[in-house]
Structure 1
Amino acid sequence: MATFISVPLKKSSEVDLVKPLSKFVTATYPAAEEQADYIRSVEELNKLRKSALGRPLDKHESSLEILLRYYDQLCAVEPKFPFSENQLCLTFTWKDAFDKGSLFGGSVKLALASLGYEKTCVLFNGAALASQIASEQNLDSDEGLKAAAKYYQLASGAFGHIKDTVLSALNREPTMDISPETVGTLSLIMLAQAQEVFFLKATSDKMKDAIIAKLANQTADFYGDAFKQCQYKENLPKEVLPVLAAKHCIMQANAELHQSLLAKQKKRFGEEIARLQHATELVKTVASRYDEYVSVKDLSDKISRALTAAKKDNDFIYHDRVPEVKDLEHIGKAALVKATAITPPLSAKFTDLFEKMVPMAVQQSMSVYSQRKAETVNRLVGTMREATNLCNGVLASLNLPAALEDLSGDSIPQSIVEKARAIVQQGGLQSIEQLIRDLPELLTRNREILEESLKMLGDEESTDSELRSKFSQRWNRTPSGDLYKPLRAEGGNFRSVLDKAVQADQVVRERYNTHCEMIALLCKPEAELTAAIPSANPVKTLQGSEVVSVLRSQLAQLEEVKKEREGLEAEIKGVAFDMSSSFLTALAQDGAINEEALSMSQLDQSYGNYSQRVQASLRSQEELLGKVQASHQEFSKLKQSNSEANDREEVLKKLASAHDSYVEITSNLREGTKFYNDLTEILLKFQNKCSDIVFARKTERDELLKDLQQSIAREPSAPSFNVPAYQTNPAPTAADPNPAPRTVFVTKPPNHCALQSFLAGCDTA
């Protein structure tokens, strides 16, 4: 008997991995060289899938190697790309391995946007191909026996792994071939066949009868377990059940045969006959019920000869009492097989195509770390800029340093001249007004991109809802409304950001309107500027006074503080630290990344000293401003006070304040322009994400609609009229023909009840 069960492979539809994965790479990795390497790897992955699934595979180890290498690559790539329905959406379609379909309806298949589903189906094919390779081995050679045992154990482990992981991997009801019940049964069958190979090896090597009996008895147990598991599995080929029942009996018969030889050696001749009689009953039942599936002639002849000889010797010589089968001592068991643990890599030649790409967990941690770093830098820089603006505002309110330069009372203070020159060099009013005109266009463009993206989601969601209402429970895919929640939340955040940006733009415009008259004055030629500033009586007596010298010294110190602050800002912006190595180490050691703890520790280490220096700069400014205000108060008392001088000082203050406002407004407008341009890039990526998922959902929708139409076509039509009573009495007909078998076996359906009762009888010994 050498009948072994092998499993057919699942068939998959073609999937283009290149386009979606390349888009993700292009969006995520801006470096040209890195990007090109990863896109080449994506193309290699696509070729590997076609080699593993896009053609018929030979029943050879090289074909299995390709399948396992693709499975290993899927395991390696899973943490590096955001495979999910609402991110990187790839739909994989697989047919049920055991469903042959119908003339009109086609075979049962399932399409899911799940890499876990693809992994499960690829591993199923690996197990199926391993079972086929094992069944092709020459069991008359040691090499063939070893290979068969190896591949059956691999198949058992793979099917068992699917049983444990399929529901969590798919998160929905799978097709029958990969359901936990089916693959659990297949795992038991493969384990039983591996044990049978060890039994054949022990028999071939003429090992001790006690050992062979235990191996055979354990094999019978494994086949019995497999039979119990699959007796209600209507989706499996119908010939599987009788083969398992037959093998359970045959292996028990072998166990009894070898145990009888052991009894003979121990001169227990009655036990020898009882065991041989039980073995005879077992093989007779197999021959009468399952001869279409397995041949037991050789075994039957062997048992028959042994029983005839044993009876003859006992009748004429020993006269030993023959016990009942139920009174015989139970035969021991010896399991030499174990399902192979599925721990990638399974392929001996596996090399990760994306070895240099960091896992998504690290990418996400890096993204959050970058945000934390940006917040830290912005906080420190913002604090210093606020302090500088405060300083400039205080000095402008005191008309410093212009008041010290204007002791003559008729010429333009040098600081005002320099401020006017700086504004003209930066483009004056024309530059600032152009920036203000550009903002609404940039805002409108961003709003249009955002609204178009959300409209795509809304349109597809409406279609999905209509079809769900039409097909009810048959429309068994994730509702678009649930799937799009993260994208809608992201879109809501973008809306909020744009609304805040509009408010900020309005503040800038109002400030510009407040100062535009004085800014325009600063843009005029020096002669016109001089004429616009009121004259005042000279205060030459103050030029050599101590208070003026002290004020000038204090102002110089303030300028030095501001210059140091500019250098400090450049240092803070230039701090760089690669956190990816820290995150990778944490992921390797702990299996997870505590991003917050690692990031905060590094940020404290990198910016703690800068934070102290910023605070020291603020304290120095506060102290110096206090001294400047005190000195200015003394200076004001000494300065001649009249209406012309007051008017002149007021204009000079406004001019100084207008310059500072021009610098700040220009900076704000340029930052706003950059913000809108950067946001456009982000929104285009968001639009691409929406477009990709909507396209994937439309593809999935069309596939599901096609499957539903085929399913409806397979359903029997209900009668459209009542049948007359006289036509309801059935005429005698021939027995219904048995359905054609779906594997290499040719059979008729077994009697399950008879099999169960027979097995119960087999297990009594």
Structure 2
Amino acid sequence: MYTLMLAQAQESIYLKAAKDHKPGLRLKVAQECSDMYADALKSLSRDSLKGLWEREWLPIVSGKQYAFQALAQYDQSLLHNENKEIGLELARLQAATIQKALDAAKKDNDFIYHERVPDLKTLPALPKFAVAHAIAPSSPMSSRFKDIFAKLVPVSVQQAVACFDTRRAAVVSGEVARIRENTCLMNGMLASLNLPAAIDDFCRPEALPESIREKSNSVKSSGGIAALSAGINELPNLLRRNQEILSETVRLLTEEKACDDNLRQQFKDKWSRMASEKLTEPLWQEVKKYQQILETAANADGILRNKLATHRQGIGLLSQSEEELTAAVPGLQKNAVQKQCPSVVKLQELMKQVNELKDERETSVFLKALSELGSIKEDEISAEKLNDAFAPLRTRISDSIKRQEKIMGEVQQANNQFAQEKGVGSGVNRENMLKELVSAFDAFSELQENLKEGTKFYNDLTPLLLRLQQKVSDFCFARKTEKDDLMKDLQLNIVGQATSQPPTTPKYQEQKEPQENVKTLSYIPPRPPPPRFGATEQPKIIYYQGSAPLAQLANGNFSV
């Protein structure tokens, strides 16, 4: 099979090379293809393998071997013809048995060239060029490859993998929360110190510091306060949609249980099927789990709304135009400190380190590594192995947090020195406004990230709740079918039951009446015969008119 497939691959390459009209290239590819088919023919001709192939394969492979050998000889003859080597051309054509070209070349040789035609055995071997190579298939074969048998594993393995996924998700969530908590702490500390806006305001005395201008542009490019408010206001709708799906699921389970309890109370021991609470316990557990998840999500949405309300004014200012923002910031006062004082230089260097630390956490160094650290082998499912697998990443996170603590300590010291050198030259109202804007920007960034996570959470939760609802609906339908069948059997049993014997007849109902009171007729007289008339005799007809009888019979005439 291997040699045959390799020869077929070489043949497909020859078909492509044949379109290029290059005899030299076709010659090499065809010769190699002929040799490959020769190897395949040897393999197919083995006694141990003959039974595995249909008989037609041997002549097909043999014919292709000779065909490509002839094509190679023919292409070589074309090269000889270009070089005016007619004798060699004739030898190649004789070997290829291409009659038309052979006759033309033989005629030219007989009348013009008169060259000796060498024996085929004396000719040099044709050059070969192997283009097709055997390569072991990679696993997976492509990035879109999906093994349909990947989930065909024992139940114990599935449970272990599910347990591992749960533990891994808990570890990832914990580490991500750890990073974000420290980042928020750092942002809050910088906002309380009005950094780096205070440095920009001091070094570049402008109506609006450059850092505030950049933050404002970032907020406006993300949609500003309007887009953020619309997204947060949409979260209750997403929550309500999931709650309605879960409420419908609860209704189905409740109605099924009520129906089962009612019939069980009605038929007592005759209602022999299993009680609903025993069958629906896993479903109720799943429902309660999702109810707790939705309750937690609702509380988190409330926190987002409160946070937006707290920083709405600052985010609104950052969402306005540069002219409106500049007008809202109190004016500058003359600084009494030189721009290149040591505290300013130190703070600028520390702000660079802070930005590098933020960029490091936002890029693939931590979050991407946490999300992709899922290809752990099955023998690493235990908690100890899981901790060992995450140990290097946890170490890097701890180092990052230690660097943050060190940097923030130096920032506080440098800021205290900066405040002493700056003195009271800077307006308090302006600093408070800049602090508020910095805090608003940090809150906007955090709210935007939380909004994306919340929207994705609700959208991912909806299919899970629909799947649970479908499962409950199928269960209720099966229980209804079972109920109908059981009701039918009970009705047939009730109808088929034999009724009890009637009560004993009282004695007084069995007494007979006296014989003298019973008149019986033992003889019934026969019916009298009809009257007879003579041949001339006519029956006498009597007519009544009123109360007087009229009887006349005279010569067949009747008178009334």
TM-score by length of 1: 0.45
Q: How does 1:193-592 map to 2 (within 5 A)?
A: 357-407=152-202, 408-539=204-335, 541-566=337-362, 567-577=365-375, 579=377, 581-582=378-379
Q: Which residue of 2 aligns with 1:647?
A: 429
Greater CA drift, 648-657 or 534-543: 534-543
Which of 705, 714, 718 pairs up with 2:500?
Answer: 718
Q: Does the CA contact (< 8 Å) of 1:446 and 1:679 recur in 2?
A: yes
Which secondary structure does the structure 1 equivalent of 2:184 belong to?
A: helix
Distance 1:516 1:389 in 2: 18
Residue 725 of structure 1: CA displacement?
Answer: 8.8
Change (3 A) 1:396 1:616: same
Residue 600 of structure 1: CA displacement?
Answer: 1.4
Distance 1:556 1:610 in 2: 24
Q: Which residue of 1 aligns with 2:402?
A: 619
Which secondary structure does the structure 2 equivalent of 1:697 belong to?
A: helix
Distance 2:449 2:494 in 1: 66
Which of 620, 636, 651 pairs up with 2:419?
Answer: 636
1:532-587 Cα distance to aligned partner (Å, 9 max, x none): 111122326331111111111112112222222222222121212155x54xxxxx
Task: Name structure 2 gaps, 5 residues minimum.
Answer: 1-147, 510-560
Q: Which residue of 1 aligns with 2:388?
A: 605
Given residue 300 of structure 2, which amino acid in structure 1 is its aligned partner? A
Given residue 383 of structure 2, which amino acid in structure 1 is its aligned partner? M
Q: Does the CA contact (< 8 Å) of 1:384 and 1:614 recur in 2?
A: yes
Change (3 A) 1:411 1:716: same
Distance 1:632 1:620 in 2: 18
Change (3 A) 1:355 1:512: closer
Residue 448 of structure 1: CA displacement?
Answer: 1.1
Distance 1:414 1:365 in 2: 54
Greater CA drift, 494-503 or 432-441: 494-503
Distance 1:366 1:394 in 2: 42
Residue 360 of structure 1: CA displacement?
Answer: 3.1
Residue 354 of structure 1: CA displacement?
Answer: 7.8
Q: How many residues align?
A: 359
1:636-686 Cα distance to aligned partner (Å, 9 max, x none): 0000314x6111111111101100000111111221222222221111111
Which of 654, 663, 667 pairs up with 2:449?
Answer: 667
Given residue 390 of structure 2, which amino acid in structure 1 is its aligned partner? Y
Task: Name structure 1 gaps, 5 residues minimum.
Answer: 1-352, 583-596, 728-765
1:1-38 Cα distance to aligned partner (Å, 9 max, x none): xxxxxxxxxxxxxxxxxxxxxxxxxxxxxxxxxxxxxx
Q: How does 1:724-739 map to 2 (within 5 A)?
A: none
Q: Does the CA contact (< 8 Å) of 1:542 and 1:548 recur in 2?
A: no
Q: Does the CA contact (< 8 Å) of 2:336 and 2:422 recur in 1?
A: no
Q: Does the CA contact (< 8 Å) of 1:396 and 1:657 recur in 2?
A: yes
Distance 1:442 1:482 in 2: 33
Q: Does 1:685 align with 2:481?
A: no
Residue 723 of structure 1: CA displacement?
Answer: 5.9
Change (3 A) 1:414 1:603: same
Residue 710 of structure 1: CA displacement?
Answer: 2.9
Change (3 A) 1:577 1:525: same
Distance 1:355 1:560 in 2: 42
Q: Which residue of 2 aligns with 1:202?
A: none
Residue 715 of structure 1: CA displacement?
Answer: 3.1
1:102-146 Cα distance to aligned partner (Å, 9 max, x none): xxxxxxxxxxxxxxxxxxxxxxxxxxxxxxxxxxxxxxxxxxxxx
Given residue 281 of structure 2, which amino acid in structure 1 is its aligned partner? K
Q: Does the CA contact (< 8 Å) of 2:161 and 2:381 recur in 1?
A: no
Residue 614 of structure 1: CA displacement?
Answer: 0.7
Distance 1:695 1:558 in 2: 60
Q: Does the CA contact (< 8 Å) of 2:197 and 2:212 recur in 1?
A: yes
Q: Does the CA contact (< 8 Å) of 1:409 and 1:535 recur in 2?
A: no
Q: Does the CA contact (< 8 Å) of 2:330 and 2:429 recur in 1?
A: yes
| Bigger Rg, structure 1 or 2 | 2
Which secondary structure does the structure 2 equivalent of 1:576 belong to?
A: coil
Change (3 A) 1:578 1:557: closer
Given residue 408 of structure 2, which amino acid in structure 1 is its aligned partner? L
Residue 355 of structure 1: CA displacement?
Answer: 9.5
Residue 722 of structure 1: CA displacement?
Answer: 3.8
Q: Which residue of 2 aligns with 1:82?
A: none
Given residue 577 of structure 1, which amino acid in structure 2 is its aligned partner? S
Q: Which residue of 2 aligns with 1:700?
A: 482
Distance 1:545 1:413 in 2: 19
Residue 502 of structure 1: CA displacement?
Answer: 1.5
Q: Does the CA contact (< 8 Å) of 2:337 and 2:421 recur in 1?
A: no
Residue 365 of structure 1: CA displacement?
Answer: 2.6
Distance 1:493 1:725 in 2: 75
Residue 516 of structure 1: CA displacement?
Answer: 0.8
Which secondary structure does the structure 2 equivalent of 1:716 belong to?
A: coil
Which secondary structure does the structure 2 equivalent of 1:529 belong to?
A: helix
Q: Does the CA contact (< 8 Å) of 1:522 and 1:655 recur in 2?
A: yes
Residue 482 of structure 1: CA displacement?
Answer: 2.4
Distance 1:659 1:465 in 2: 58
Identity %: 38
Change (3 A) 1:433 1:696: same
Residue 495 of structure 1: CA displacement?
Answer: 1.9
1:673-723 Cα distance to aligned partner (Å, 9 max, x none): 222222211111110111011111111111222222233344322235346
Change (3 A) 1:725 1:416: farther
Distance 2:314 2:407 in 1: 28
Q: Does the CA contact (< 8 Å) of 1:542 and 1:639 recur in 2?
A: no
Residue 613 of structure 1: CA displacement?
Answer: 1.0
Residue 481 of structure 1: CA displacement?
Answer: 2.3
Change (3 A) 1:696 1:557: same
Residue 456 of structure 1: CA displacement?
Answer: 0.7
Distance 1:463 1:649 in 2: 69
Which secondary structure does the structure 2 equivalent of 1:518 belong to?
A: helix
Q: Does the CA contact (< 8 Å) of 2:225 and 2:319 recur in 1?
A: yes
Distance 2:215 2:458 in 1: 29
Which secondary structure does the structure 2 equivalent of 1:542 belong to?
A: coil
Greater CA drift, 360-369 or 609-618: 360-369
Given residue 273 of structure 2, which amino acid in structure 1 is its aligned partner? R
Distance 1:623 1:359 in 2: 51
Distance 1:447 1:563 in 2: 38
Which secondary structure does the structure 2 equivalent of 1:524 belong to?
A: coil
Distance 2:472 2:428 in 1: 63
Distance 2:423 2:506 in 1: 125
